[in-house]
A and B are shown apart, each in its own frame.
Chain A
Amino acid sequence: MREERFDVVVIGAGPAGSRTAALTAAAGLSTLLLEKRERVGFPVRCAEAVGPRRDIERFLPLDDDLVSSPIDGFALVSPAGERFAARMPGIGFVVDREAFDRRLAGAAVKAGAVLRTSHQATGLLHTDGRVAGAEVTDLATVERYRVTAAVTVGADGVECHSPRWAGLKGSYRPAEVMSCAQRLVEGIDVGERMIEFHLGGSVAPGGYAWVFPKGPSSANAGLGINPLRAGGIRAIDYLERFLSRQCPGASRERLVVGGTIVARGLPRLATGGYLAVGEAANQNNPFSGGGIVNALEGADLAAGTIVEALAGGGPTARALSRYTDRWNRTTGRANKRFWRAAQFFYGLGDDAMERVIGRMRRTPGLIGESGVDPLRLLLALARSDPRLVFRLAAGILKR
C-alpha cells in the first residue's frame, strides 16, 4: 500500500479540523487535512447560530458574506405559549455555515495545509502502542493508502469513529444524542430578529424547538428531541407538527436533519500520537447542543499542545494530555455546569417549566449585560418555588 508522511494528519474539515490544521500549518508543521465529503461544508447540518462578534473574531473575521442575519435578542416560549423576551442587540449572528466552513478550510490551505476532499479516513495506524497516522481511502478512485504522522487529529464530528479507534471512548447512548430536524421556512415575520426557543413535552420532548432568523422573511426553524422521551415519534414528525402550529402559512424549504452530542464530556481527549477535537471530542455545549465556537476553542488548545509537544519531547500520551487539562480548565469546565443544568432543566416537566417562565416574566431586571442574571433568577424562583430551587441546587452541587 502506498505510504505518505506528514507531521500532522487531521481527519475532518469542519470548524474543528480546519482550524487545527490552519494553526499547525502556520507553525511550520506539514499538515494533511482529510475530508470525506466532496465539498467542504456541504450539505449544512446546522441551525447556524453563533455568539457575539468578539467570540467569532478570535478565530476569523466575520465578513458580511458570512452573516445571514444579526440576532437582536432571545425569547423563551413556555409549553402553554407564554413568552419571555429580552431584547439584546449584538448577542449573536446566524451565519452562512457553508461559507463559514469553507472560509476556515481556505485559511488552512492558505497557511500551507494540504486539503483533500473525497478522502476518507477508514482506520488508524498504530506503532508501539501509539497512534501513528491513518489509513485513507480516496473515494473517487477507491485507492487505499497510508498516511504516517507524528500526530493524528480526530475532528470527525458526530460520527466520531476515530476517538473509538484510538480507544478514547465507546459509542453514545441514544439519550446522549439530540435527534434534530429543521426546515428553512420562507414567508414568516422575523421583524425583531429574535431567536426563539420553544419548550414543552408536546413540542420537543427532552429538548427544545428553535426559530432563528435567516433573512428578512426567512428562518431556520427546527427542533431537537431526546429520542427516549419521544414515544416512538420521529424528530421530523415533531417538526411538521411544530411548523403547522407556528408558521402555517410559510413555505417549507431545505430539510436538515442530524444528531448533536449532548453527553457529559470525555475523561480523556488525547492519547499517544492522537487527539480528538470538536464534536468528536464531545465538546458541544450539552445544554444547547451548539458547538461551532466550542470546536474552534478546542482546536486552538489542541494545536497549541501539538506544536509544543513536537518542539519538545514528542507527542507522548503524557505530553498531549496537557490538552485535556487545558480544555477542562476552560470551556470543559463550563460544559460540566451546562450538563448538570441540562439534566435538571430538561427533566422539569411542563408544569414546572411553565412556572419558571411565568416567574421570569414577572421578575424585573432579570436581564443583565450578558443575558439572564442567574442570581436574580434564582432569588425570584426561590420566592415562588423553593422546592424547585432545592432540586436545582442539589443537582449543581452533586459532583
Chain B
Amino acid sequence: MDIGNSAPRAGIDVDRGACIACGACSAVCPAEALVIVGLTLEVFPERCRPCGLAALVCPTGALRCPGPEPSERIL
C-alpha cells in the first residue's frame, strides 16, 4: 500500500474493544475492505475507496470509515 496516497484522509479505524465481528459492515462495504476472518474483523485498507458507508450500519459504533474527499463526491 502506498502510504503517501492515503495520508490526507484518516484510514478505516476499528475499536477492537467494541467490535463483535458481526459482519454487518461487510454486507455494505463495496470494496470488500472489511472481512470477518474466523471471529475477527480484518481490514484491508488498501482496498478502501473510500465511501464512508459501512460505518453507518455498525450497531456498536466500533467502525470509522473515511468518507470521500469533497472533490470525489458524486453527489
Residues of the A chain whose Cβ atoms lie less than 8 Å from the Cβ of B20:
43, 255, 257
Q: Does B67 contact A (CB under 8 A)?
A: no
Q: Mark B23-55, 1 if CB is under 8 A from A, else 0.
A: 111111110100111110000000000000110
Q: Does A106 contact B (CB under 8 A)?
A: no
Which of A43, A118, A164, A179 is close to B24, meaning CB atoms less than 8 Å apart?
A179
Residues of the A chain whose Cβ atoms lie less than 8 Å from the Cβ of B60:
181, 234-236, 257
Residues of the B chain whose Cβ atoms lie less than 8 Å from the Cβ of A172:
27-28
Asked if A179 and B36 sit within 8 Å, CB to CB, the answer is no
Interface residue range, chain B: 20 to 34
Kindly state the separation between the CA atoms of A21 and B27 in the bound complex, as whole angstroms.
Answer: 24
Residues of the B chain whose Cβ atoms lie less than 8 Å from the Cβ of A228:
56
Which of B23, B53, B56 is close to A157, meaning CB atoms less than 8 Å apart?
B23
Most buried by A among B20, B36, B57: B57
Asked if B24 and A171 sit within 8 Å, CB to CB, the answer is no
Asked if B28 and A174 sit within 8 Å, CB to CB, the answer is yes
Chain B interface, DSSP helix/strand/loop, else mixed: loop
For A233, the closest partner residue in chain B by CB is: B61
Residues of the A chain whose Cβ atoms lie less than 8 Å from the Cβ of B24:
158, 177, 179-180, 257-259
Kindly state the separation between the CA atoms of A331 and B29 in the bound complex, as whole angstroms.
Answer: 28
Asked if A118 and B38 sit within 8 Å, CB to CB, the answer is yes
With A170-B30, A234-B58, A236-B59 as known contacts, state yes or no: A259 contacts B23, CB within 8 Å.
yes
Chain A interface, DSSP helix/strand/loop, else mixed: mixed
Kindly state the separation between the CA atoms of A73 and B37 in the bound complex, as whole angstroms.
Answer: 39
Q: Does A264 contact B (CB under 8 A)?
A: no
Asked if A180 and B59 sit within 8 Å, CB to CB, the answer is yes
How many residues on the A side are at the interface (Cβ–Cβ under 8 A)?
Answer: 34
Q: Does A183 contact B (CB under 8 A)?
A: no
Residues of the A chain whose Cβ atoms lie less than 8 Å from the Cβ of B29:
171
Asked if B26 and A236 sit within 8 Å, CB to CB, the answer is no
Those of A82-128 within 8 Å (CB) of chain B: 118, 120
Residues of the A chain whose Cβ atoms lie less than 8 Å from the Cβ of B28:
171-174, 177, 259
> Which residues on B are within 8 Å of A, measured CB to CB?
20, 22-30, 32, 35-39, 53-54, 56-61
Residue pairs across A and B with Cβ atoms less than 8 A apart, 17 shown, are: A37-B39, A38-B38, A158-B22, A158-B26, A158-B27, A164-B32, A171-B28, A172-B27, A174-B28, A177-B24, A179-B56, A181-B59, A228-B56, A234-B60, A257-B22, A257-B24, A259-B24
